[in-house]
Amino acid sequence: MAEERYIPPIAFEHQYKGIWYPGVVLDSSIDRMRTFQVREDDIWIVTYPKAGTHWMMEIIGLILSNGYPDKIDRSLYSSAIEMIRVNQKIPRSKEEEQEHPIDWSPFMDVIDRAPSPRVLLTHLNYDLLPQDLLKAKVVYVARNPKDIVLSWFDFAGKNPALPLTMDKAITKMMNDEVHWGPWPQHVRQFWELRDHENVTFVLYEDLKKEPAKHIQTIASSIGRPLSEEVLDRVVKFSHIDAHRETFKKMAESGQGGLVKGSGPAGTFKFINKGVTGRWKQHFTVAQNEAFDEWYKSKMADTDLKFTFE
- Cα separation, 245 vs 168, in Å, equals 32
Handedness of CA 6, 264, 83, 77 (dihedral sign): positive
Whether 214 sits among the annotated catalytic residues: the reply is no
Residue 97 exposure: Cα atoms within 13 Å on the Cβ side: 8
Residue 68's alpha-carbon distances to 41, 71, 223, in angstroms, are 21, 6, 18
Distance (Å, whole) CA 135 – CA 42: 9
Q: Which of 14, 54, 100, 123 is catalytic?
A: 123
CA atoms within 13 A on the CB side of 156: 19
Cα–Cα distance, 170 to 147 (Å, whole number): 11
User: What secondary structure does DSSP assign to 16-52, as a single string?
Assistant: ETTEEEETTB-HHHHHHHTT----TT-EEEEE-TTSS
Lay out the sheet containing 137-142: strands in order across.
Answer: 119-122, 43-47, 137-142, 199-203
Which sequence positions are flagged as catalytic? 123
